[in-house]
Amino acid sequence: MEIEKLGGVISPELKAHFVELNNQGEKNIILKMDSARYCDSSGLSAILVGNRLCKNANGTFVICELTDMVMKLVNISQLNTVLNITPTFQEAQDFVMMDEVSRETQND
């Protein structure tokens, strides 16, 4: 799903997509945001839904490759203290993998 404007029109669709992934058993989600030039409060709400679903499933939610405008909004709203954010997709994959390893070792 490529999103240029993460706002009121697309946000419900993104939330539904996250719920669908969660219902299919996905517990780790990486949201690559390199094409998002704009994000509003409903977009941030959709991101938080994805984050909550992953946490509730004992998984990891990561957003990566944020544009400068979106990163500014995330910082202003202080969601950078709540969300896992990486500069690149590869780093997001590594983050998820390390989280999985950490959870497995804690369960042993």
The helix/strand count (H/E) of the chain reads as 4, 5
The CATH number given to 5-107 is 3.30.750.24
Grouping H, G, I as helix, E, B as strand and the rest as coil, residue 63 is: strand
Sign of CA dihedral 75, 98, 35, 46: negative
Domain ranges across the chain: 5-107
Q: What pLDDT digit, counting tens, does each position of 47-73 carry? A: 999 999 999 999 999 999 999 999 999
Whole-number pLDDT of residue 2: 75
Q: What pLDDT digit, counting tens, does each position of 8-21 carry? A: 899 999 999 999 99
pLDDT band at 24 (very low <50, low <70, confident <90, very high): very high
